[in-house]
Amino acid sequence: MLSVKNLHARVADKEILKGIDLEVKAGEVHAIMGPNGSGKSTLASVLAGNEKYTVTEGEVLFEGRNLLELPVEERARMGLFLGFQYPVEIPGVTMANFMKMAVGEIRKYRGEEPLTAAEFLRMMREKCAIVELDTRMTSRAVNEGFSGGEKKKNEIFQMAMLEPKLAILDETDSGLDIDALRIVATGVTKLRTPENATVVITHYQRLLDYIVPDYVHVLYKGRIIYSGDKTLALKLEKEGYDWLINDYKE
Amino acid sequence: MELLELIRNGEFRHFGGGRIESACGPLAAVDPSKLKMTVASGVSASIVILHTRADETVVDIELEPGASLVVDDLYLAETFAEVRIRQAADSRCRLTTVELQSANADYDIDLDGAGASFEAGGVFVGSDSDHCVVDLTTRHNVPDCTSSSMVKGVVSGKATGEFRGHVYVAPDAQRTDARQQSRNIELGDNAHVITKPQLEIYADDVKCSHGATVGQIDDDAVLYMRQRGLSEAEARRLQIEGFVSDVVMRCSVDESFREALNGCVKTKLERL
Amino acid sequence: MDKKEADIIGEIESQEYKYGFTSDIETETIPRGLSEDVVRLISRKKGEPDWLLEMRLKAYRHWLTMEMPTWAHLDIPEIDFQNIIYYASPRKRPQVDSLDDIDPELKRTFDKLGIPLEEQMALSGVAVDAVMDSVSIKTTFKDVLAEKGIIFCSMSEAVRDYPDLVRKYLGSVVSYADNFYAALNTAVFSDGSFCYIPKGVRCPMELSTYFRINAAGTGQFERTLIVADEGAYVSYLEGCTAPRRDENQLHAAVVEIVVLRDAEVKYSTVQNWYPGDKDGKGGIYNFVTKRGVCHENARLSWTQVETGSAITWKYPSCVLLGDNSVGEFYSVAMTNNFQQADTGTKMIHIGSNTRSRIVSKGISAGRSQNSYRGMVKVARGAANVRNYSQCDSLLIGDRCGAHTFPVIDSRNASAVVEHEATTSKISEEQLFYCNQRGLSTEDAVGLIVNGYAREVLNKLPMEFAVEAQKLLALNLEGTVG
């Protein structure tokens, strides 16, 4: 589904990704871990197409297409979803209106008929339930005045609405209390199918108690320095990163 | 007058104009008719300008790159003042203006170098038939400068208080951060407040805001204080003192001078 | 500015004005220029009573002594008032009640504008007065309204049929000496709408006037007078468009509203006069005086969406004369390319316990200049006045300007007046977020702008809100590179 080869990227004059290789297949869950500043969020942004970053080398194939030459919205319409670490507020634009447009665009791209108003409302109700969001939230402005937990639930709600092939969740667990964490993580698990895949970027093992990964990668200084199965996350939790990164210290 | 005494006998050095080239103690100028001041690159200075007689005054201040200056501009008499401050890159200026009389203080600030910052706090207190004017124009001529102002007014009797603020952001003065606040309390049925906080913006990547309020004493707070045994008059005065004190207390590097000034303000407030 | 931002700005600037067609209608005009003779000619053509001619002449003579106001933040080229045609009317004057009698070309014009003069009117429940160039073409629903005693007709008819009412109130809110353009309007106004809601009557439908400038070289000077008698209610809508022409055309209207005790008037405008092309050529000069007087317990609410005109000079205001009266002003002003707008309001608090609220949302793009100018005045005897003003500016691109010129003038110690203003741009983060959810940049900009203006759009009657939203989006239309 996603194939990343030797990906290099920079912001301004600073090289942040220094040769990433990653293969994600349908049905899989990958976790990307690593200390602060290792390039995790940059990787997510580059895959989504944030133009703040410049790709200097490497290639990324998504569903067989060269992802790097597509604009952000086309990647989204193909089924690449980014759950933001810091979802932005858009004053005055209601969630319902926003999702109606987004779902409309994505259905159009897939060649599906537009939903009727009734179908859309029903869909919103169902998807809200997945993350235990009050449906009244949909008449509020996008992320405006949302608590930290609501923002993250809202990201997963949108993921449920848009039914992506590949979801990249950037620090979806940060700033969540234990109940919200459970709700968000269970939501993500409910959305798993054999046809889609998830990349979870996180600092902490605790999210992986709910979203059990098939692979765990450690990102450090712009490279994936180690990959393993879910037990790697437990070991990192207990022992930290030092045993891994000592070799890479300058 | 206590303030004058402190300036003459305290640790202030009389300043008649010129270039400040190295660090020095607090400077003071009393009733200057013309004052020209340059603060050299990297030097920090402070000056008290005291107006004690009806007059006209022109003050011209230039801050070289990285210079910093604290200006306390105090009006105890009906003075017409024009104060121009030009700031080069990374310079800092902190202005406090206090008008306890009819006065007309016209400030013209030019932020000419990136990283320059200007911050103003002001109070005018008008009673009887005073007419207090604070006119503050801040021009962001280049990118990456910040400015903020908070001007508070209290007027009673037949007094008029005017704040005219103008923030100008030049084309391409990106990443400007400019804030402007005007807060006013009117007392009695014949007082008059006029406030014009204006923004003129020609660049898009900016943070600019302004606010203005005209209001009155918080009756709930007065009631609360009376319940604790204060007279209504005391409670009202205390509230107004609280309203202006944060600006008054930022004045001057010298503790006893600040206390004396605060004393002047209190005396004035009793006349409201 | 990075590439993406440049693209967005390019898109926004490539907007098209879709009402720019001209209609091939036979028009009767008088020669260019202004003189006492022209004023008399207009009055004669309209068969007016002497008192009105006198008022016009007084206004004209006063106008001669006045100068064009220059205090606004506008760059107004010199206007040759002798090079304007002050009266133009479609030759076939439909003095009719059947739509069949209307010039078919005229009907097509209004159909193109999306103004339903026909049966669908009944369904949408809006009574329309359509004013083309100088003359009111057709007022619908007169009979239904007449049953309730509501008068809704062209100003010419009102002068003829209800002279006492017109004489009592015309010029009572905006005197002929009020300002340069009001004086000019009083001298030469050719038509407009008149509306009277009797005591205690709630007008059962929205009343609406559509203004259309069609003939070349003409100015449009319409006059609107609305009187809501005690306890009455009416919601009034106004829309305007003009053909695309290289020349600038002058529109100087006056709207007067009298809101008597316990009455309520809502006045909504979607102003979409031709704004000129992307190089700033052509477009309407829109110099308008709008003001209402509120008596005791009355309420007047102005809502405006200003997207058109090369230059807008307009300050719909409320004189809160009676105790407990309420004034409101909700505005979205969007400027693009070389448009200039200086618009806002005055809230004059004279009565006690009067309240006012101002919400202004400016949107500037291209090389346009967009100013909010407002005044909140509290008179000495006005106790317990409350005002809250919120003025926001949104800048799209780094070559436009957004300005805020508020004045608070309070002479009463019990007043509480608050003003706040902020400036923002559409952030990269917001665009990225919308793109990541599959929206094109163009749609994202439209969505964000509409969200920004929502508080004001919500105040418009439903159909108008939809039209206004489309207009805002249309002004941002283009193709994504």
Question: Region C270-293: what's the mean pLDDT?
Answer: 90
What length does chain A have? 250
pTM above 0.90, yes or no: no
Lowest mean pLDDT across B92-106, B201-215, C243-257? C243-257
Q: In chain C, which residue's Cα lies nearest the Cα of B208?
A: C423
Q: How confident is the model at residue C132 (pLDDT cuts 50, 70, 90)?
A: low
Question: Which alpha helices (DSSP H) does C345-461 contain, by range?
Answer: 428-436, 441-452, 454-457
Separation CA A116–CA C340 (nearest Å): 41
Contact of C398 with chain B, judged by CB distance below 8 Å, is answered with yes
Question: Region C21-32: what's the mean pLDDT?
Answer: 71
For residue B264, the SS3 value is helix
Q: Which of A76, A125, A72 is nearest to A96 (CA)?
A: A125
Backbone angles phi, psi at B165, to 5 degrees: -110, 145
- List the single residue in C427, C432, C451 with the smallest CB-CB distance to A50: C432
Separation CA A129–CA A123 (nearest Å): 10
Determine the pLDDT at residue C468: 82
Handedness of CA C123, C124, C126, C130 (dihedral sign): negative
Per residue in C287-300, pLDDT (tens digit) is: 999 999 999 999 99
ipTM for the assembly? 0.90
Determine the pLDDT at residue C192: 85
Question: Which alpha helices (DSSP H) does C46-140 contain, by range?
Answer: 50-64, 104-112, 120-124
Over 50: is that where the pLDDT of B262 sits?
Answer: yes
Over 90: is that where the pLDDT of A205 sits?
Answer: no
Separation CA A36–CA A14 (nearest Å): 16
Separation CA C336–CA C338 (nearest Å): 6
Whether residues A73 and C430 touch (CB distance < 8 A) is answered with no
Over 90: is that where the pLDDT of A177 sits?
Answer: no
Question: Region C50-75: what's the mean pLDDT?
Answer: 95
For residue C318, the SS3 value is strand
Cα→Cα distances C431→A134, A162, B196, C170, C447, Å: 26, 18, 35, 50, 10
Q: Which residues lie across from C258 on neighbouring strands?
A: C227, C293
Backbone angles phi, psi at C222, to 5 degrees: -100, 160
Residue whose entry in the numeric block shows the structure tokens 């100018």: C373
Question: Region A59-88: what's the mean pLDDT?
Answer: 92
B65 by Cβ neighbours in 10 Å (0-12 / 13-18 / 19+) ranks as middle
Q: In chain A, which residue's Cα lies nearest the Cα of C447?
A: A93
The DSSP 8-state label assigned to residue B53 in this structure reads S
Whether residues B198 and C410 touch (CB distance < 8 A) is answered with no
Structure tokens, C115? 């103004």
Over 50: is that where the pLDDT of C479 sits?
Answer: no
Question: Residue type at B246?
Answer: D
Over 60: is that where the pLDDT of C124 sits?
Answer: no
The continuous run of DSSP H or E covering C337 comes out as none
Separation CA A34–CA A220 (nearest Å): 6
Separation CA C450–CA B220 (nearest Å): 40
Chain A partners (3+ C-beta pairs within 8 A): C
Whether residues B186 and C418 touch (CB distance < 8 A) is answered with no
- List the single residue in A73, A84, A91 with the smallest CB-CB distance to C451: A91
Judging contacts by C-beta atoms under 8 Å, the chain C residues touching residue B200 are: 73, 401, 403
Separation CA A217–CA A31 (nearest Å): 6
Separation CA C55–CA C70 (nearest Å): 26
Whether residues B189 and C407 touch (CB distance < 8 A) is answered with no
Contact of C428 with chain B, judged by CB distance below 8 Å, is answered with no
Whether residues B198 and C409 touch (CB distance < 8 A) is answered with no
Mean pLDDT of chain A: 89
Separation CA B261–CA B148 (nearest Å): 23
- State the number of CA atoms in the 13 A half-sphere of B90 facing the CB: 7
Residues of chain C that touch chain A, judged by Cβ-Cβ distance less than 8 Å: 2-4, 427-430, 432-441, 443, 447-448, 450-455
Q: Which residues lie across from C73 on neighbouring strands?
A: none
Lowest mean pLDDT across B169-173, C243-247, C476-480? C476-480
Residue whose entry in the numeric block shows the structure tokens 């002479």: C411
Over 80: is that where the pLDDT of C107 sits?
Answer: no
- State the number of CA atoms in the 13 A half-sphere of A80 facing the CB: 28
Whether residues C443 and A105 touch (CB distance < 8 A) is answered with yes
Per residue in B139-157, pLDDT (tens digit) is: 999 999 999 999 999 999 9
Determine the pLDDT at residue C189: 93
Handedness of CA C97, C100, C106, C111 (dihedral sign): positive
C477 by Cβ neighbours in 10 Å (0-12 / 13-18 / 19+) ranks as middle
Residue A163 near residue A190 (C-beta atoms within 8 A): no
The beta strands (E) that lie in C155-216 are given as: 193-197, 206-212
Alpha-carbon C408 to chain mean position: 24
Determine the pLDDT at residue C73: 93
Separation CA C44–CA C22 (nearest Å): 29
Q: Which of B209, B237, B244 is nearest to B221 (CA)?
A: B237
Cα→Cα distances C152→B26, B249, C101, C137, Å: 74, 64, 20, 13
Whether residues C4 and A51 touch (CB distance < 8 A) is answered with yes
Q: How confident is the model at residue C464 (pLDDT cuts 50, 70, 90)?
A: confident
Complete DSSP assignment for B212-262 = EEEE---HHHHHHHHHTT--HHHHHHHHHHHHHHHHHTT--S-HHHHHHHH
Q: Which residues are within 8 A (CB) of C170 and not within 5 positions of it... i.e. 6 or more apart? A: C52, C55, C223, C225, C256
The DSSP 8-state label assigned to residue B25 in this structure reads S
What length does chain C have? 481
Judging contacts by C-beta atoms under 8 Å, the chain B residues touching residue C413 are: 186-189, 191, 216
User: Where is pLDDT greater, at C125 or C187?
Assistant: C187
Determine the pLDDT at residue B222: 77
Determine the pLDDT at residue C205: 83
Question: Region A62-83: what's the mean pLDDT?
Answer: 92
Determine the pLDDT at residue C20: 66
For residue B182, the SS3 value is strand
Separation CA C22–CA C109 (nearest Å): 8
Q: In chain A, which residue's Cα lies nearest the Cα of C451?
A: A92
Separation CA B174–CA B171 (nearest Å): 8
Q: Which residues lie across from B168 on neighbouring strands?
A: B139, B200
Cα→Cα distances C179→C86, C183, C223, C314, Å: 19, 6, 15, 12
Q: Which of B219, B176, B234 is nearest to B200 (CA)?
A: B176
Instruction: Give the Cβ contact number of residue A56 at 10 Å.
Output: 12
Q: Which residues are within 8 A (CB) of A170 and not within 5 positions of it... i.e. 6 or more apart? A: A40, A41, A44, A82, A83, A84, A85, A201
Structure tokens, C246? 């290289």
For residue C362, the SS3 value is strand
Separation CA C81–CA C218 (nearest Å): 11
Judging contacts by C-beta atoms under 8 Å, the chain C residues touching residue A142 are: 451
Determine the pLDDT at residue C93: 45
Counts for chain B of helices (H) and strands (E), in that order: 4, 17
Residue C314 near residue C306 (C-beta atoms within 8 A): yes
Cα→Cα distances C349→B189, C179, C327, C412, Å: 15, 21, 9, 10
Over 50: is that where the pLDDT of C190 sits?
Answer: yes
Determine the pLDDT at residue C476: 62
Per residue in B61-83, pLDDT (tens digit) is: 999 999 999 999 999 999 999 99
Structure tokens, B206? 């900016």
Query: Helices A95-110 and A148-162 sit at what angle, rounded to 10 degrees?
Result: 30
Per residue in A95-114, pLDDT (tens digit) is: 888 888 889 889 999 999 99
C327 by Cβ neighbours in 10 Å (0-12 / 13-18 / 19+) ranks as buried
Lowest mean pLDDT across A77-86, B33-42, C100-109, C231-240? C100-109
Per residue in C377-399, pLDDT (tens digit) is: 999 999 999 999 999 999 988 88
Question: Region B75-95: what's the mean pLDDT?
Answer: 97
Separation CA C282–CA C338 (nearest Å): 10
Per residue in B200-228, pLDDT (tens digit) is: 999 999 999 999 999 887 777 777 777 77
Q: Which of C275, C158, C273 is nearest to C212 (CA)?
A: C273
Structure tokens, C39? 């004023």
Over 70: is that where the pLDDT of C118 sits?
Answer: no
Judging contacts by C-beta atoms under 8 Å, the chain C residues touching residue A51 are: 2-4, 432
Mean pLDDT of chain C: 85
Determine the pLDDT at residue A206: 83
Backbone angles phi, psi at C182, to 5 degrees: -65, -35
Taking the CA of residue A95 and the nearest CA in chain C, the distance in Å comes to 11
Q: Which of C293, C284, C294, C290 is nearest to C304 (CA)?
A: C290
How many percent of chain A have pLDDT more than 90? 51
For residue C92, the SS3 value is coil
A250 by Cβ neighbours in 10 Å (0-12 / 13-18 / 19+) ranks as exposed
The continuous run of DSSP H or E covering C469 comes out as helix C462-474
